[in-house]
Structure 1
Amino acid sequence: MAGFADSPYFLGVLLISAFTMPIVFMVWIRNTARYGREPWRNVIRAFLWGAVFSVIVAVIFSLILAATLGQVGPLNTFLIRRFHDPDVVFLIIGALIVAPIVEEAAKGLGVREGRPEIQGLLDGLVYGAAAGLGFSATENLIYGVNTLLSPDGGATASLAVIAIRSFSSSFLHASSSATFGYGLAKAWLTRRTWAFVPYYLLAVIMHSTFNLLTTIGVLYATPYGETVGFVAAVAFALVAITIVRLKLAAHPRTVAGNR
């Protein structure tokens, strides 16, 4: 395994592993709709936008926002006094503030690929989920490669990280982006420019809550904190994606004027 892990072919294995389940989930969610399923070409384009361009946008603006928040003295002073560890402060700013704000906005850009086909609010759920799953696939790959190259990682660990994230973070990204996609569909269909804002904020809160649960063991160093937090985060993501699927399965297309 060690020899194969050192070969370029193993990167292909990681790529396939990172994208397989998000693609399966994309098909699953798209086919959940009972009426007027979205065209594959638009769904796939939303997925690819999330996998490529949303990631690039998120990286650039995450660096900008993180650098900006790093200059906010009162915020950093408060966090240092509370947690006494610069690494923990960096984690809080990055995982609980920067990532949710920037990544949800970046994934929302992918929903535009479905705009020509959006005729009801529920259509936004599908394109939002597709963009979010594309983003999660690339993120899975990045984490997998990082684990592979880590001194404490390796081939087996990298595949394990991708597998775990495929059934946790992927659901979070799909459900939070679906929420934002619903809001964007509402804004476009009602021609109310700012109608998406509450849904974007809800997506950010969902994302931040998930990240808080996954990092609670680090923040508070409680016994079994990391395990309990991770289980709670997975449960949160599963509930969120289940709600999205139930909404798609239970209702015909919902036009903006009826919701």
Structure 2
Amino acid sequence: MRTLRLRFSQNRLHTTLQAGFRTGKYMPASSDDSSVDTHGVTTWEPRTLGDRLSVSLHETLASNWRVVVVALAALVLLGQFFVAFGLFATDPFLAVFSAVSVIPALLLVWYIRRQDVDPEPVGTLAVTFVLGGLLASFAALVNTAAGTVFRQIPFIGSILLFFLIVGPGEELVKWLAIRLYAYDRSEFDAVVDGAMYGAAAGLGFASIENVIYITQNALTAIQNEGPVLAATVPTTVARSLAGPGHVLYSAFAGYYLGLAKFNEEHYGPLVVKGIAVAALLHATYNSLSTVLPQVLPMSGLTTFAFIVLWDGALTVVLIRKLRQYRDVVDEHGTASARPQAASTDD
């Protein structure tokens, strides 16, 4: 009997509380009740110096986040290039080698630009190129830190690094180089413009990456008292072959960003798809370049042939997309057909 009374009392209390919450009887005091200070409990407003500084900082970051990102990237890059600048001063040929290593990627960008119905202005492409180079500093930091961890994993450590860190990270920062500036410009008025700006971002990224690799090899040779020229020539050749890949991967990501811009209802999925496609291609290439020489007898000629075939196949796919767009515009004869130039089924 006592147990039944206790259960009855609990049920009655529960019912009473529910009714009280529904009617507002047991709700906390509102901010309109001057007798109760709810600041920091259920309400908030800037009162102290720290509060006002927080508001000012938030407003500054919200309105100038692009400037903040670029400034941070520039500072990181300056720190990474501190040694490189010194090497360029003492050995100017390193700067020449760095410039030469970018020529194949630059030619590919030129070829892609020729496919555009309405070529993008050089100024906007140049800004995107610079942003791609600046943001490469973030990827370099992450890759270096993650590499020390993943390479401790036997057999598959490098492959995991490529698919989980290097591919997604590098393609994300190149995508960001487009999004920071070119995306909001009036010149970005067609789906395929994204591919062009992606190519420019990839060229900027490849330029900085080539400088880092070439100067690092030169510095190692100097520290080991070896011939600097003999150390940098093979690196220059290798980097010149790697550069076009950066252009192609980010061109694909940029293409899907352009598709997303003119299909706003599918913006998020298209952006994710573009970065994922670029990252997958990037990581697959890196993995094959690492694994194939370990399992097959690869000479310099076969390595060159592999890279040409890989980049050539991707170039064919990309150019096919751009020409499909051009055919649609030619058929309709107006720029208004641009947003319908590509399908999300691609």
TM-score by length of 1: 0.78
Distance in 1, Cα, partners of 2:324 & 2:168: 30
Letter in 2 for 1:136: A
Gaps of 5+ in 1: 84-88
- SS of match in other structure, 1:120: coil
Of 144, 147, 151, the match for 2:217: 147
Question: Is 2:124 aligned against 1:42?
Answer: yes
Q: 1:258 to 1:29 in 2, by over 3 A?
A: closer
Deviation at 1:124, TM superposition (A): 0.7
CA distance in 1, matches of 2:290, 2:301: 10
1:177 is displaced (CA, Å) by 0.3
Q: Find the partner of 2:112 among 19, 29, 34.
A: 29
Name whichever of 205-214 and 139-148 sits farther off.
139-148
Number of equivalent positions: 238
Letter in 1 for 2:311: A
Aligned position for 2:6: none
Gaps of 5+ in 2: 1-86, 330-336
State the match for 2:90 in structure 1.
Answer: 7
Q: Which has the higher contact order (CA 8 A, sep 6+)?
A: 1
Q: Which residues of 2 match residues 1-259 of structure 1 at below 5 A? A: 7-33=90-116, 35-52=117-134, 54-63=135-144, 80=154, 83=155, 89-112=156-179, 113-115=181-183, 116=185, 117-151=187-221, 154-166=228-240, 168-191=241-264, 192-194=266-268, 195-217=270-292, 220-224=294-298, 228=302, 231-249=305-323, 251-252=325-326, 255-259=338-342
Does the C-alpha gap of structure 1 residues 109 and 227 become closer, same or farther in structure 2, counting only changes over 3 Å? same
TM-fit CA distance, 1:136 = 0.9
User: Taking structure 1 as reference, are residues 10 and 122 closer, same or farther at Cα in structure 2, changes over 3 Å only?
Assistant: same
Go from structure 1 to structure 2 and tell me whether the alpha carbon gap of 1:136 and 1:5 turns closer, same or farther (over 3 Å shift). Answer: closer
Equivalent position SS for 2:100: helix
Deviation at 1:137, TM superposition (A): 1.4
* Contact residue 22 and residue 170 of structure 1 kept, 8 A: yes
C-alpha root-mean-square deviation of aligned residues, in Å? Answer: 3.0
User: What does the per-residue CA deviation read over 1:109-156, in whole Å, with 9 as the maximum and x for residues that have no partner?
Assistant: 111232112222111110011101111111112221222233477314
Q: Structure 2: which amino acid aligns with 1:147?
A: N
Sequence identity (%)? 24
The worse-fitting range, judged by mean Cα deviation, of 106-115 and 20-29 is: 20-29
Instruction: Find the residue that maps to 1:119 and give its secondary structure.
Output: coil
- Kept in 2, the 8 Å contact 1:171–1:238? The answer is no
Deviations 1:24-48 (A, max 9, x none): 3333322232x11111111111111
| Matches of 1:185 and 1:5, distance apart in 2 | 38
Contact 1:50–1:135 under 8 Å retained in 2: yes
Q: Which AA in structure 1 matches 2:131?
A: W
Change over 3 Å in CA distance of 1:93–1:230 after alignment to 2 = farther
Matched residues in 2 for 1:193 and 1:242: separation? 26
TM-score norm. by structure 2 comes to 0.60
1:55: Cα distance to partner?
Answer: 0.6
Q: Which has the larger radius of gyration?
A: 2
Residues 324 and 341, structure 2, Cα contact 8 Å, conserved in 1: no
18-27 vs 104-113, which moves further:
18-27
The one-letter code matched in structure 1 to 2:120 is E
Cα gap change, 1:153 to 1:246, in 2 (>3 Å): farther
- Contact 2:102/2:243 (<8 A) preserved: no
